Amino acid sequence: MNPKSPVFPRKVYVRFRGRMCDVVSPSFAYNQYYVAEVALSATPYVNAYSGTYTGMVGEKTFHDTAVAVFTAGSPTVPTNKATLDALALRIAKDYYESLNRQIDVTYAGICNIEPNARLEEIVIDYCEDYVTTRIHSPAIFGSEPEQLSHWDTAAASCTNKNTPFEEFYGPPGDCVGGHVRLTVWRVSVVNGRLVKRYARQDTL
Amino acid sequence: MIAIRILDSNGNNVDIPLERPTKQVVEFLSKYIDPNLATPWEYRSWPGFGMAGVTIPTGFSIPSDIRINRFVWPLGASRWAYMFCLCDAESLNSIANYAFGSDGTKQIEVNLVLDSPDSFGKTERVITEMYMLPPKPLSSVVPKIMPSGVNDIVNTNNLYLLTLVDERYFWWFANVGDLSTIVDIDSGVSWSTLISNITNIITTRFGTGFTNSTILATYLNASHAFILPYEDFPLILDAIAYNIGMRVVRKFDGSVKLQSFADADTAISNNFRDNPGRSIIAGGESLIDRVKYF
């Protein structure tokens, strides 16, 4: 009998946002994101005592801030695919591992059970007519996050020249040779955040 | 026995036993001053704007009803251990004098001692440091002043509700500062650097020791999603743990570990191996391979 099958989804998806690097002009030919797919069968959690877990039909989806790097030479397959796939496999293993053991036990008396990552709570009741210690695992649904915050440093070299931006004049300014010289700042959205960077100085 | 252990003026341990509520007391409280209607804390309804995009679970544990003499020790950094118990005024004066200092300005942890009342052949005991929040009067019988000429005040020894919490309650009064100083927008930051940087706040404040299971290189770096200014420490630490396949575990001895499931399974096995005399009243493990149920 395999009670884990209804608990383990058959697949885990991890979606990574895409970034176009070193491209001449933005194009929809480049992927907006990369989804790494991990099958239950690719993990150690597939083996049961008397059979093979197939997992329930469905997929658990995670979203990660790590960026899939696309270039002109590789517009649809991220250049850091191997790294992202390894991370996705690790995320899937962690997810299945978190579900792999469900404990809910009440012991007589007070038990000095060492707190650990498997136990959602240790509860000791000291009442008039009974004394018990109960331990239980986290819930099999909802106790895990879906937004993850990893980062592949391979994306740091991605200059992304064509990120949409706006330029504006701002301080400091000065007067050079009878001409006004103003600083130009560039504002763009980088990975969901508004970023201001120095661009140049213009002499008017 | 449940007791609060304090130190006397000579530095010796003094155990002050706490009341075990009778059915009549429980009935009285439930009828007239049910603690569930006036809890000392509210649970967060949302993590706050800055934390909305960072790693937090999609669900949250529904807190159980407040029960007198129920000791709860949860997993994670964002929740704290607690216990509500009863204490009479005479005992409370000794405890409060120690926990709050004689001038009422201190915040000193007491030891909560939980011991089995009789023997099932076991001698297990839980002793852990807890802080006391302001005690709450449950009865308010006014002291009787004897007629003049008699120099006595008949004390009433009223009943009080003690709220004990562990150090994690006070972690919510710590923020992580400006993480933009260590998290780079282009390269993020290593998980170990992020952990040591933010846990330093608590180590400095409470002397708490933090360790972690081995962090695999597969987890890459922490992203600039952690460029968060002055967010609450517990949420950030839990977010870090989730990203590296671990959970934040505070142990009864006060140490804190970011622990992997593999290390947790080893800890469980060792703990149960060392205590073979435990008696299971109910429950068990539900996700184990079986040939049949019995």
Among B188, B220, B285, select the one facing A102 at the smallest CB separation: B285
Q: How far is A174 from chain B (nearest CA, A)?
A: 30
- Say if the ipTM goes beyond 0.85: yes
Contact residues, chain A, for B285 at CB < 8 Å: 101-103, 105
| The predicted structure's pLDDT at residue A162 | 52
Q: How far is A134 from chain B (nearest CA, A)?
A: 9
- First and final C-alpha spacing in chain A: 80
Residue of chain A whose Cα is closest to the Cα of B285: A103
Best residue in B195, B289, B294 for a mutation probing chain A (most A CBs within 10 Å): B289
Question: How close, in Å, is residue A203 to chain B by CA atoms?
Answer: 30
Q: How far is B183 from chain A (nearest CA, A)?
A: 11
Helices (H) and strands (E) in chain A, counts: 1, 11
Asked if B291 and A1 come within 8 Å (Cβ–Cβ), the reply is: yes
**Chain A residues in contact with B268 (beta carbon < 8 A):** 114, 116, 118
Using a CB-CB distance cutoff of 8 angstroms, which residues of chain B are in contact with residue A120? 61, 74-75
pTM above 0.90, yes or no: no
Task: Please say whether the beta carbons of B4 and B113 come within 8 A.
Answer: yes
Q: What is the model's pLDDT at position A23?
A: 60
Residue type, position A186, single letter = R
In 3-state terms, what secondary structure has residue A175?
Answer: strand
Tens digit of pLDDT at every position of chain B (294 positions): 889 999 888 888 899 988 788 888 888 888 888 888 888 888 777 777 778 778 888 777 777 778 899 999 999 999 999 999 999 888 898 899 899 988 888 899 999 999 875 445 557 889 999 999 999 988 877 766 666 655 555 667 788 999 999 999 999 999 999 998 899 888 899 999 999 999 999 999 999 999 999 999 999 999 988 988 899 999 999 999 999 999 999 999 999 999 999 999 999 888 888 888 888 899 888 877 666 667
Sign of the C-alpha dihedral, residues B134, B140, B142, B143? negative
> Who among A65, A89, A128 is closest to B23 (CB)?
A128
- Which of A60-69, A144-153, A182-191, B63-72 shows the lowest mean pLDDT across its residues? A182-191
pLDDT exceeds 50 at position A44: yes
Q: What is the per-residue pLDDT for B119?
A: 46
* In contact, A84 and A78? CB cutoff 8 Å: yes
Structure tokens at B68: 């007198």
Does B91 touch chain A if contact means CB atoms closer than 8 Å?
A: no
CB A1 within 8 A of CB B291: yes
Token pair for residue A23? 């491209």
Residue of A nearest to B184 (CA): A156
Q: Which residue of A has its CA nearest to B64?
A: A123
Distance CA A111, CA B73 (A): 13
Q: Do B2 and A126 touch (CB under 8 A)?
A: yes
| DSSP one-letter string for chain B | -EEEEEE-TTS-EEEEE-BPPPHHHHHHHHHH--GGGS-S-PPPSS--GGGTTS--BSS-PPPPPP-BTEEEEESSSSS--EEEEEEEHHHHHHHHHHHS-TTS-----EEEEEE-SS-SS---EEEEEEEEPPPEES--PPPEEPPTTS--EE----EEEEEEE-THHHHTT-B--BGGGT-BTTTBB-HHHHHHHHHHHHHHHH---EEEPPPPGGG-EE-GGG--BS-BHHHHHHHHHHHTTEEEEE-TTS-EEEEEHHHHHHHHHHHHHT-TT--EEEEEESSS--S---
B184 DSSP assignment = B
Rounded to whole angstroms, how far apart are CA atoms B183 and B174? 19
Q: What 3-state DSSP class applies to A203?
A: strand
Mutation to test the A interface, candidates B193, B257, B281, most A Cβ within 10 Å: B281
Chain B from 122 to 181: CB within 8 A of any A CB: 122, 124-126
- A14 neighbors A36 (Cβ within 8 angstroms): yes
